Structure 1
Amino acid sequence: MSLSVAQGFTKSLAMTVLSEIGDKTFFAAAILAMRHPRRLVLSGCLGALIVMTILSAIVGWAAPNLVSRKWTHHITTLLFLGFGVWSLWEALHDGEAEDLDEVEAQLDADLKSNGGETKEKNQDSDDLKKQRQPLLAQFFSPILLKAFSITFFGEWGDKSQLATIGLAADENPLGVVLGGILGQALCTTAAVLGGKSLASSISERIVGLAGGSLFIVFGIQSYLSTVE
């Protein structure tokens, strides 16, 4: 692995882990996994995050071809510094369980609008039947598609997506993709296997402070580095 790939991989992995733990999509995966088969939830959420990571890296890779390398470098620097300040502000001012309560309320409202607990029980029964079906057929499971869509649109426009675009514009895109996918896999698996208990045992404020500090470090490093 070349130095540029390793550097992009390391930055992307650290950024993804610290950005996604305690994120809304993290809580969504945890709550969905408590209500539906974990395998389907993990497949849907992780599939959405992988697609989002690759798309973001492609946009970041293409940006220097549309805008001068100098400008993309400066924009990336400002993005990192801005996201760092944003993350620190959120960590210092927002409530610890605000995101979790908000996601739970949204999913509960969605559940009620779709017919309540009776329909959920019927759906769970259908999922047990689908487990006997061929693997390809399970990709069309409503649970998997729901997990995919909630995660994909929840990440769209999020600071972690924009940060991935900026990182791919300034670092090796392959390293950014590999680091991002590994980070997403670790966070999503943790969320599905025990995200709610994990979130309650880890201070969201500390994670936010660490993530914000990391963004600022990346911003300072980007500012001090020379444009190739």
Structure 2
Amino acid sequence: MAKFEQIGTAEIPGQGSELRLLQRNDEFSIRIAGKSGELMNTRLHGSEDALAELACRRVAERPAARVLVGGLGMGFTLAAALGCLGSDAEVVVAELVPGVVGWNRGPLGAAAGYPLNDPRTRVNLGDVGELIRREPAGFDAIMLDVDNGPEGLTRRENDQLYSPKGLAAAQRALRADGVLAVWSAGQDPAFSERLRRTGLTVEEVMVRAHRPGKGARHCIWLAS
């Protein structure tokens, strides 16, 4: 079997570390330099698709729906959101690492069908939490796929996004009957309770990392 080869690196702002992009034939992997294991792989994106589908189906019939994807990653959540929404929708994708945007405009983009090229896509380079705070009632749906979920492992600042203060900001950024969808590598009862204490109605959905019905079980919270 062919081995992965590193084809790019991207600095994580304010972190002092970097992401690595590796390729093996038509398969891509994103990892953190100096750490074992991978963050993302183009063969395992079932739960990233589900994050967008579960959220966007709830708002797809709204005229000029506007949604936010927090974390571009390999582009699968963005692509799934675009696939659910109408021609008059706008999908804002917030990505902290400029290099990740460059990868998605380059060879990595083919895996998800180059969703950054869709005219409905708007790219915001920077922290998704800051974008949420400055756009009250700005979105019909917010989808967060940042770090490994509420128990962030790569960036301390991500904890603020899932804190009571961060969740309250997300609630304010939603339009009437909007939905907040949060991806996580695993279940977290404490986070479910935190969402409820914010005043949100919470549904917890378990999905597979690889479709159909294969791979690790990941958790998606739907809060409205």
Task: Indicate whether the TM-score tops 0.5.
Answer: no
What's the TM-score, normalizing by structure 2?
A: 0.24
TM-score calculated relative to the size of structure 1: 0.23
Higher fraction of strand = 2
| More helix as a share of residues | 1
Larger relative contact order (CA 8 Å, sep ≥ 6): 1
Larger of the two Rg values belongs to structure: 1
